[in-house]
């Protein structure tokens, strides 16, 4: 099996806030990440597909095809957006990196037909990232 990864970048704002809680509890749990008007990140995304290498093409998935899927299905929908307000598929979640990665998985899983989706890595900063590999 070979693991093929495409990287992408986007910039977005968000606020960590659970509407079921009081402002005081949100502040206690999320701290400055819960500031009312949000804050931004330059996110880095790594999408990894795994599969056997076919003899005829030599490619698990054409990286151009993977790049197009990530661009159209994810980046165009989240880049320069407010993740709490502007992105339909993130409605109803606290937009932590964990929840964003899981939402990306749900979308990409159905779109990748060469090989299979193996992992979503989402870097919120240089030092903080999450990885999701499905259930």
Local structure of 80: helix, strand or coil: coil
Closest CA to 62 of 109, 8, 1, 112: 112
* Residues assigned a catalytic role: 33, 80, 124
Nearer to Ni ion by C-beta: 6 or 14?
Answer: 14
Closest contact distance (angstroms) between CB of 20 and Ni ion is: 19
Site string for Ni ion, 16-45 (x = CB under 5 A): -----------------x------------
Q: For residue 82, how many other CB atoms are within 10 A of its CB?
A: 17
Judged by CB under 5 A, how many residues of this single chain contact Ni ion? 1
Whether the CB-CB separation of 77 and 31 falls below 8 Å is answered with no
Site for Ni ion in 67-106 (CB under 5 A): none
């Amino acid at each position: 099996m070979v693991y093929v990864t495409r990287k992408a970048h986007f910039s977005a704002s968000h606020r960590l806030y659970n509407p079921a809680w009081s402002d005081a509890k949100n502040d206690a749990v999320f701290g400055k990440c819960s500031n009312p008007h949000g804050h931004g990140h330059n996110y880095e995304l790594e999408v990894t597909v795994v599969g056997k290498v076919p003899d005829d093409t030599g490619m698990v998935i054409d990286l151009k095809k993977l790049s197009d899927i990530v661009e159209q299905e994810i980046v165009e929908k989240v880049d320069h957006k407010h993740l709490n307000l502007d992105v339909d598929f993130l409605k109803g979640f606290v937009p932590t990196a964990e929840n964003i990665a899981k939402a990306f998985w749900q979308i990409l899983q159905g779109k990748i037909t060469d090989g299979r989706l193996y992992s979503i890595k989402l870097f919120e900063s240089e030092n903080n990232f999450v990885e999701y590999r499905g259930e």
